[in-house]
Each structure stands twice: as C-alpha cells, then as structure tokens.
A and B are shown apart, each in its own frame.
Chain A
C-alpha cells in the first residue's frame, strides 16, 4: 500500500508540515486537504495591511519550498472524520482517504458571541475573505466601529480602523486593561494610554449582552447598561479549535489536540499535530500542555513533528530531545511594535523595566523565582532590537521544571 501522509489543514501549519516532511527525508506521497479555496497565505497582515488596503493576495501567499511541488492539494475540501484504528480520513466530498501518516493541522476558527440580535454587520478576522469583507465595511464614510475583545487582534483592528478614518472606534472587554493576560498590568496600562491618545475609546470591565438593530447591527448593548452606536462590529473574542472531525477516537480534545512531548497524538506514532491546534508540553517551561497561537508555532511544531513522523515511518530513530521552542510574538499597533521573547505570561508577578521608560520606548523583563523568563519591548525599531539582545540569555535559562 502506497498510502500518503495526509495533512488535514492546508494553511501555514499544513504547508510547513509538508515542507518539513520533505526536509526530514520523507519521499513518499503527501496530500494536503484544506477548507479554504486559497493556497496557504500569511495571516498577520489581515488585521493591518489587508484592512488598510495595502496588501494584495499575491503579497500574502507563501512561496512553498520547491521540494513540495509534487504534493497533492485538495483545496476547498474539508476532512469530516478520522478513524485512527483503520487509518482513514473521510472528506466532505464523500471520498475516503487511507493514510500512512496523519498530520493534524486544522487550526482554529474565531469564537462568536452568543448574544441575541442581528448578525449582518458583525465581522471576524481570521481568513482573507473575512478581512476583505471587513475592509469594505470599514471604508464607508463616518463609520462607527465597536471592537469586542481587547487582545492583540482586537487592538490591531482598532488601530487600523482609526487610521482608515472611522468616526468612532470603541474597544469593549470584560477585563480592566487591554492585553493584560499575556503582558501583565504594567505594559497593559501603558498600551491603554497610547491607544487613547490616538483616539481609540475603551469600555473596559464590561461585556456585551445583546446586539441592537432589525436587519443589521445598529448598536451594542453592554452589561453596565450602556448602548454603543455601531455600524460595524468586530468580534475578536478568542478562537475555538477545529477538532470536531477528530472526535470518536477517544482522545482529549478539550482544548485543541493533546500531544506528547514529541507532538504525537493519542500514543499513535503515525499521528502528529502541528500549529495552533496542537496542545503540547514545552520542556523549556513547566511541561504543562498548552495551545500556542503565535505566528512562529506552525513552523516550530512542523520542524520537530515532521522529523518524528518521518523517523517512525522509515524505521529510524529521530533522536530528538523533547520539543522546547522559545516563544516569540509581536504585534504592530498604530506606529509602535510590541516584540516579545520568552514567556512573559509566566512572569507577570515580577515585572521590571530593564531599559527606557513607559512613556517612550521601553524594554520590560518578566521574572519567575528571580529568573528572567520573558522580555517585551514596546516602541520603535530600536526597542525591538534591544529585546532581541536578550534572546540568547532566555535560550540559556534552564527548565523551570524542578
């Protein structure tokens, strides 16, 4: 049987998995199955350059490595079921595909608010088609925008909307500060001020209870009794893992697909998970399995997991230490960038300004048990470069596991 490695999901993680399987020496067939009609593309510009009208699809599309020229692409097709005992997946067009190896790369979809009211006028920003639709809505004159969710994407969208000339942009979140979950209160407070200076309004410490309007949204009702007038609502309230197709195999799918320290799923060496759908332990930190939605994770996970899967299928030993990526993320908002290395969220209780000050370019260190576990820069290019200088130190830190 010359069954392929089937990659379920054909976005960045699926593409990187295919490329890394080739790099690891897998010469057999590979089939990628992806729901979107588009070839894999880069998502960070969706909330910024695409909304601002500065990026075309051609500039977003990844250029696949040459050695995946022979993979089979099944775009506009969704995997609807997997039977791990029989080693087959079923597609929404009725086809059943046997596999020798299976890569779970189905990613996430945006959560929606379960509030009553009309749906038209409400947007999310996950796919290219989402971003195109939102851009059209944001470029109408005098538009009033309510962004629900003060995380990175919500704040990026708010910044882009005000730059596009929206009449009002208000960000709503039940937490008292934007982005405090990943960044802690010190930087979150500084970020709130910077957004307000640039015209963004915030309704914090309150949630959305309903949407007003007949056939489309005209307002957003808040738990504190206020109603915000809105022509456009952007829901940026987190994401849900696309794992329904994977049910029925007795696996832990409570938040993504649980993997072992080598990204293998359910004790099956022929099944791996990559990208933000994978919930993996990071040996660099506390070993607790977590999903990670950073841009670099599809590439990091693909590189490790492809070696593991290829070694299994070819009967060799991958000889790898447990997966232990150094997290890194960034966010561009208005004219400033946040650049993070390490795991600031694990050191939020001991935050120290390492350089600069909170009104200008600043570099902040996050500590756990007096050890530096993360650095975040806020400001211009020089601040980001300063953060990068701490990267080697973060890489050298021993595991937090006692």
Chain B
C-alpha cells in the first residue's frame, strides 16, 4: 500500500492526523508528513484518513 498526498491541495486541516496517527503527523514546522508505505495492517486507518480529508488530497495506491 502506497499513500500519496497531494501537497498542492493539502491545507493543513489535520483530520488525517486524528484518523491515522501512525501514518500522518505534523512536523516541527507544522507541515504534514506521512509514512509513504505503511504496513498493510493500517489500511482501515488510512482509508478513514482519506475519507476525512476535506480537500480529498490523500490517495491510496496498491
């Protein structure tokens, strides 16, 4: 599972960080950072993070 975030769309709402804290976080500058190839066991979390992104900036590629 590959997680792709369109940083041109991202507006730092942080909803993904709440939904999948093992995959998404804010770095020290307040920019979104994420694990590009998380473990398959985190798929449900990542799907939820993609759903709750207000900008629909998160995509899962298999």
The verdict on B2 contacting chain A, using a C-beta distance below 8 Å, is no
| Nearest A-chain residue to B51, judged by Cβ | A299
| Nearest A-chain residue to B9, judged by Cβ | A59
Known A384-B14, A388-B14; judge A23-B56 contact (CB<8 A): no
| Among candidates B12, B44, B52, B59, residue contacting A63 with C-beta atoms closer than 8 Å | B59
Interface string of A375-402 (1 = CB under 8 A from B): 0000001101100100100000000000
| Nearest B-chain residue to A332, judged by Cβ | B11
| Nearest A-chain residue to B12, judged by Cβ | A381
Q: Is B44 a contact partner of A385 (Cβ separation < 8 A)?
A: no
The verdict on B45 contacting chain A, using a C-beta distance below 8 Å, is no
Give the shortest distance, in Å, between A294 (CB) and chain B (any CB): 11
Q: Is A65 a contact partner of B47 (Cβ separation < 8 A)?
A: yes
Taking CB atoms, residues of chain B closer than 8 Å to A65 are 47
Taking CB atoms, residues of chain A closer than 8 Å to B47 are 23, 65
Q: Is B56 a contact partner of A384 (Cβ separation < 8 A)?
A: no
Taking CB atoms, residues of chain B closer than 8 Å to A19 are 51
User: Cα distance A296–B53 when bound, in Å?
Assistant: 9
Q: Is B14 a contact partner of A23 (Cβ separation < 8 A)?
A: no
| Nearest B-chain residue to A15, judged by Cβ | B51
The verdict on A245 contacting chain B, using a C-beta distance below 8 Å, is no
Q: Is A23 a contact partner of B52 (Cβ separation < 8 A)?
A: no
Taking CB atoms, residues of chain A closer than 8 Å to B55 are 42
- Give chain B interface residues in 3-34, CB to chain A under 8 Å: 9, 11-15, 17-18, 26, 30
Give the shortest distance, in Å, between A263 (CB) and chain B (any CB): 18
Taking CB atoms, residues of chain A closer than 8 Å to B12 are 381, 384-385
Taking CB atoms, residues of chain A closer than 8 Å to B14 are 384-385, 388
Q: Is B13 a contact partner of A330 (Cβ separation < 8 A)?
A: yes
Taking CB atoms, residues of chain B closer than 8 Å to A382 are 30
Q: Is A299 a contact partner of B18 (Cβ separation < 8 A)?
A: no
Known A42-B56, A63-B59; judge A16-B51 contact (CB<8 A): yes
- Give chain A interface residues in 1-59, CB to chain B under 8 Å: 16, 19, 23, 42, 44, 59
Known A63-B59, A391-B18; judge A385-B52 contact (CB<8 A): no
User: Cα distance A385–B59 when bound, in Å?
Assistant: 23
User: Cα distance A185–B12 when bound, in Å?
Assistant: 27
The verdict on A62 contacting chain B, using a C-beta distance below 8 Å, is yes
Known A23-B44, A388-B14; judge A296-B30 contact (CB<8 A): no
A16-B51, A63-B56 known; 18 other A-B pairs, CB under 8 Å? Answer: A23-B44, A23-B47, A42-B54, A59-B9, A59-B56, A63-B59, A295-B54, A296-B15, A296-B52, A299-B51, A328-B15, A332-B11, A381-B12, A382-B30, A384-B12, A384-B13, A385-B26, A385-B30
Question: 9 closest Cβ contacts across the A-B interface?
Answer: A388-B14, A381-B12, A299-B51, A385-B30, A42-B56, A381-B30, A299-B52, A295-B54, A44-B54
B-to-A contact residues, CB < 8 Å: 9, 11-15, 17-18, 26, 30, 44, 47, 50-52, 54-56, 59
User: Can you list 27 A-B pairs, Cβ within 8 angstroms, ordered by A?
Assistant: A16-B51, A19-B51, A23-B44, A23-B47, A42-B54, A42-B56, A44-B54, A59-B9, A63-B59, A65-B47, A295-B54, A296-B15, A299-B51, A299-B52, A330-B54, A332-B11, A339-B13, A381-B12, A381-B30, A382-B30, A384-B13, A384-B14, A385-B14, A385-B26, A385-B30, A388-B14, A388-B18
